Amino acid sequence: MLSEAREQATNIAYRVEERVHAWRESRARRRNFMPTVVASTGYGTTSWIRVLGRAVMTRERILDRLTGEDVLNVRGWRSFLSIPIADAVVTVRIGDAEVQVTADHGGVVDVAVDIDLPPGWHTIELSTEGSKPQTAQVHVVADEQRIGIVSDIDDTVMVTALPRPMLAAWNTFVLDEHARTPTPGMAVLYERLHRQYRGAAFLYLSTGAWNVAPTLRRFLSSNLYPHGPLLLTDWGPTHERWFRSGMQHKVDSLRRLAEEFPHVKWILIGDDGQHDPAIYGEFARRYPQNVAAVCIRELSVSEAVLAGGLDREPRPQANGVQWITGPDGRGLAVQLAGAGLLDPDPGDRA
């Protein structure tokens, strides 16, 4: 009975959210807001690509009074001024080809499109309801590529220095690219991996919401991290839960990558602040053929306290999978080099 009552409550919350979105969208249209698509970086193979973005209602152009930037591309809380377009029909132009895809009830576009493209970076355009096309890049991974990199974001590439209960609110309502500190040595490590494994997929997997994608992209770019797709999630109730599970999002994303790239071994990079060791460990146990190494950044004592403690869950054993730990990018680089997964650098021994 309790589970049925909980399911009924979450279904009600889901329907309420849909009605709120519909009311906001209708009101925005009456006030002459314009439909547009916030396009995100995608990835794919030579036979298909994953198109990512979000269809929203906004003024044709809302400028920040201080910077002159478009509101859609500034700090996190402003991104929530945008209003999702439920089930939006989005036109995707890929070279001379044009296809139409449908967003979900939160305006999120996450669709695989069959198309033949050579390996490398390609530019696509997304638009809805005749709006001005917005460009996004898509990384097509070569069929012969055998290594890829998946990285967590919070406490892995950036130091959050915030209690975990406050982290989601900070990411949503306060975050801008100047409000965080890059993790020491991680950008250098990632650039070395990027140079060594030319053409490898470089993906950033986070429990953050799609609303903050532009801010996260700017942080990664300004701190010289390799360009790559963000794999984020949507917040709010589902038919089964009050809030989407961040852990499940990571588990599902990794499983999808194993299915999409069965020939690729992933270097998985995260931190020991919460669940990355358990998530990566379970993935390595289930898909050992798809894991080259698990790299875990060890948080400092103060970072661990803010993160709510370290992940002490037992790690599933996977034969042949390297486990690497270190406090920063340099420490991880030394061990990756020792494992034969990174070319040695004279600075590693200094």
Q: Where are the domains of the chain?
A: 2-140, 147-349
The amino acid at residue 39 is A
**Structure token pair of residue 175:** 């975050």
Residues 6+ apart with CB under 8 A from 347: 330
**Spelled out in words, what is the top-level CATH class assigned to the domain 2-140?**
mainly beta
What superfamily in CATH does domain 147-349 come from? HAD superfamily/HAD-like (3.40.50.1000)
**For 154-259, where are the E strands, in sequence order?**
158-159, 181-182, 202-209, 230-233
One digit per residue, the tens of pLDDT, for the chain of length 350 reads 445 544 554 555 566 667 776 788 788 888 888 899 989 999 999 999 999 999 998 875 544 444 444 545 444 445 555 788 999 999 999 999 999 999 998 899 999 999 999 999 999 999 999 999 999 999 999 999 999 999 999 889 988 655 555 555 555 555 555 557 899 999 999 999 999 999 999 999 998 888 778 778 888 999 999 999 999 987 654 444 444 566 899 999 999 999 999 999 999 999 988 789 999 999 999 999 999 999 999 987 666 555 555 555 555 556 678 999 999 999 999 999 999 999 988 666 54
**Structure token pair of residue 254:** 């990794």
Instruction: Judge whether 2-140 and 147-349 match in fold.
Output: no
- pTM comes to 0.84
